[in-house]
Amino acid sequence: MAQYRRVSGSVGLITLQNPPVNALSASVRQGIVDSVKRALGDQKVKSVVICGQNGVFCGGADIREFGRQMSGPPLVPMIHDIEAANKPVVAAIEGSALGGGLELALGCHYRISHSKAVVYHCFIMTMSDQAKLGLPEVTLGLLPAAGGTQRLPRLIGVPAALNLITTGRHVTAAEALQLGILDHVTEHNTVDVAVKFALSVTGESLDGRRISSFSCAPLSDLDSLFEEAMLKVRSAARGAIAPVACVQAVRAAATLPYAQGMEREKELMATLFHSGQARALQYFFFAQRAVGRWSTPSGARWDTSQPRPVRKAAVIGLGTMGRGITVALAQAGLSVVAVETHAKQLMEATKAVPSMLKRGAVRGGTTIEPDSITYSQNLQAVADVDLVIEAVFEDMALKEKVFQQLSIICKPDTLLCTNTSSLDVDHLASQTRHPELVVGMHFFAPAHVMKLLEVVYGRRSSPAAVATAMQLGKKMGKVSVAVGNCRGFAGNRMLKRYLEQAFFLLEEGATPELVDRALEEFGFPMGVFRMSDLSGLDVGWRVRKADGLADTSLTGTSARVRQGCRYSPLGDLLCEHGRFGQKTGRGWYQYDKPGGRVAKSDPWLHNFLDEYRARHGLVPRCIDQQEVLERCLFVLINEGFQILEEGIAAGPEDIDAIYVFGYGWPRHRGGPMFYADMVGLERVVERLERYHQAHPDVPYLQPSGLLRRLVANGSPPIHKWRNVIKNRNSQL
């Protein structure tokens, strides 16, 4: 809806009303059309102001309408009519003007926005803004198709418009003013200022105010600018089609008259609108928000659990993870006690952490209170903190000891969290006096950069403990996903199956290059072998050794079997050769030096694989990319269904968020569970069954019970899976 009233005698004020973000639903569009008509037809009205209720201008088109039959007045002619009006129209922008919201503002003759305060810091003036503006359609698999690709380059120039449209980034009011998107910013009430401004421009000529009549500022080398832009978007999101279409649409603005440019924008939008990528990205937009509404099988929920205030936190262990976590906590404004019992490691951390903070502050344009962190070699220093995150070496005996000590030293209500990536959270809880205050906070390296946080609740974790960890994660800028306690939790448990298949494919005749190419063409930034080289092959080796799996003394058929299932010792053998990946300059690939970054094919490795196959009587066969994708991805997806079945994750959105934010799953494919829905659950079952028949010694290729049940229920769309899961749980 839109509310219309006349204010200050001669200003028609149109207020968009569609909480929470005033999205341009059919009824809002109808309201705008009706109100504009009324204002233009009223002789008493000399100028018009458009604003949004509750301090938000407009979050753009209503994304939920995209999946349905479109109705109501279309945006393009609506904005055209506003621009063509013979009375000045002013956009009063508070909060967000995004997507269609900014396109609506670009159709107005003037744009005024709110800028909260002017702060003087070290002689540099910075504006602390509330408003954010942008054209984020590309992040939804679309382009700004209500004239955004044609008006923005005409207003601010092609290079700046290309940057905003292809990245979808939001800019502050200060930056928008600098770029020329805004005419004016104010610290006062934006609507009041806009009304006064509207009165002041009454009767002035609008000839120079209609952006569609502008020409793009000429540029000397347009071809190379667009070639460069195309290369950039192609390498930033491999296989994503929307950024490419955005470049093409802006090119049309730079080279064609406005009307033809609009035709091109429409044509390009038509190819994107019904694409699988747009569906995936729009699903993911809502999935990200759904993970915040967490629940556990015991009935704890986000809306009934009260988080505790956390002002002071401690980190135990200042290795790579501990340092990153310390930085993330300090960046979130907490006071941090950083404890490391090894003097040398502590000394190194006291230098490394401040420089990580400094780099972060420079990148983010923020400031950090330098004495928000205190360092100590003594665990007693954590006596008064509200929450502890243990990040010591991944060794159960060591962690047990730390938790026993923490339980004695800390206040009785201190939350004790572990950053373990796979160890048993319940067991650690059992070492403390208050197991209800123990949860896992599984960060991903580098912990101050990676967006994902798995919050692992144990059998006895209290709802308040889960809520506190979830809220702290959010404060640190993480996407926090609540998951149950099991080996590897959700992410690493699924990853294990994926890695196993990749090893088996090498045994059967594939090369690391072939497997990685298939995965990278699918959209992963790195294939599984390049990723292992980067993170270090020794990490998994240590875990397998601790589990009694990495025994390379076994010969004959038993060398490739563990606990009755197929096992590949390839990773263990490489580690025995001292090939730990990038850090040693050799792994699945070779590098020019230890620590080198550029992976090159390694003839030694290919020889090694040939000899290995010959030794085990394995006849190499031709493996194509499709098999690589199906074997690696479907087995990972199958484990995801198992995780849903067991209640370790509450819904498919949780798993998808974990994979996109933590494991490089291409966002334009929505996450593994959404991908399964797109491929078709029946097909996933059929392929898994086929591969299981061919490899009966790999039990995880058997389709999970939930996957089969979904197929038996007619393969409902992903948003209905929770019903099938719920029905199953209620029968238990």
Ligand X SMILES: CC(C)(COP(=O)(O)OP(=O)(O)OC[C@H]1O[C@@H](n2cnc3c(N)ncnc32)[C@H](O)[C@@H]1OP(=O)(O)O)[C@@H](O)C(=O)NCCC(=O)NCCSC(=O)C[C@@H](O)CCCCCCCCCCCCC(=O)O
| Site of interaction with ligand X (CB under 6 A) | 20-21, 23, 59-64, 75, 96, 98-100, 103, 136-137, 140, 142, 144-146, 148, 269-270, 273, 286, 289
**Token representation of residue 453:** 């946080």
Residue 622 CA to residue 630 CA, distance in Å, equals: 15
Closest contact distance (angstroms) between CB of 256 and ligand X is 19
| The CA-based dihedral angle spanning residues 253, 257, 263, 266, taken in that order and rounded to the nearest 10 degrees | 20
Cis geometry, peptide bond prior to residue 569 (ω within 30 degrees of 0):
no
* Least Cβ distance, residue 75 to ligand X (angstroms): 5
Task: Choose, from 65, 83, 94, 103, the residue flagged as catalytic.
Answer: 103
Asked if 503 contacts 568 with a C-beta cutoff of 8 angstroms, the reply is yes
CA distance 482 to 649: 7
Task: Tell me the closest approach of the beta carbon of residue 173 to ligand X, in angstroms.
Answer: 14
Does residue 406 contact residue 387 with C-beta atoms inside 8 Å?
no
**Angstrom distance (rounded) from CA 449 to CA 360:** 9
| Among the listed residues 23, 656, 722, the one whose alpha carbon sits nearest the alpha carbon of residue 281 | 656
Closest to ligand X by CB, 26 vs 40, is 26
Report phi then psi at 61, rounded to 5.
-60, 155
137 is catalytic: yes
Q: Which is nearer to ligand X, 146 or 428 (by Cβ)?
A: 146
For residues 463 and 300, the answer to whether their CB atoms sit within 8 Å is yes
3-state secondary structure 344-412: HHHHHHHHHHHHHHHHHHHHHCCCCCHHHEEEECCHHHHCCCCEEEECCCCCHHHHHHHHHHHHHHCCC
- Give the number of other CB atoms < 10 A from CB of residue 305: 19
413 near 373, Cβ under 8 Å? no
Which residue, 337, 328, 320, 323, is CA-closest to 360? 328
> CB of 102: closest distance to ligand X in angstroms?
8
Query: What gap in Å lies between CA 149 and CA 142, rounded to an integer?
Result: 11
Closest approach of ligand X to the CB of residue 76, in Å: 7
CB environment 646-663: b (16+ within 10 A), e (fewer): ebbbbbbbbbbbbbbbbb
Query: Nearer to ligand X by C-beta: 128 or 224?
Result: 128
Catalytic residue among 83, 94, 137, 390: 137
DSSP run (H or E) holding 77: helix 75-84
Residue nearer to ligand X on the CB measure, 55 or 446: 55
Closest approach of ligand X to the CB of residue 1, in Å: 15
Q: Between 137 and 630, whose beta carbon lies closer to ligand X?
A: 137
Q: 10 Å Cβ neighbour count for 601?
A: 12
Closest distance of CB 64 from ligand X, Å: 5
**Could you tell me the smallest distance in angstroms from the CB atom of residue 101 to ligand X?**
7
576 tagged catalytic: no
Other C-beta atoms closer than 10 Å to the C-beta of 675 total: 23
- ω into residue 716 within 30 of 0, thus cis? no
End-to-end Cα, the chain, rounded Å = 46
- Which residue has the CB atom at the shortest distance from ligand X? 99
* Closer by beta carbon to ligand X, 15 or else 582: 15
Q: What percentage of the chain's residues is helix, strand, coil (to nearest 5)?
A: 50, 15, 35
Q: Label residues 342-351 b or e (16+ Cβ within 10 Å = b).
A: eeebbeebee
- Least separation in angstroms between residue 297's CB and ligand X is 23
List, as one string, the DSSP characters of 210-237.
-GGG--PPP-S-HHHHHHHHHHHHHHHS
Smallest separation (angstroms) from ligand X to the CB of 124: 27
In angstroms, give the least distance from the CB of 289 to ligand X: 4
Query: Beta 124-128 vs 117-121: how paired, if at all?
Result: antiparallel
Which two tokens mark 193?
């200022």
Tell me the catalytic residues.
103, 137
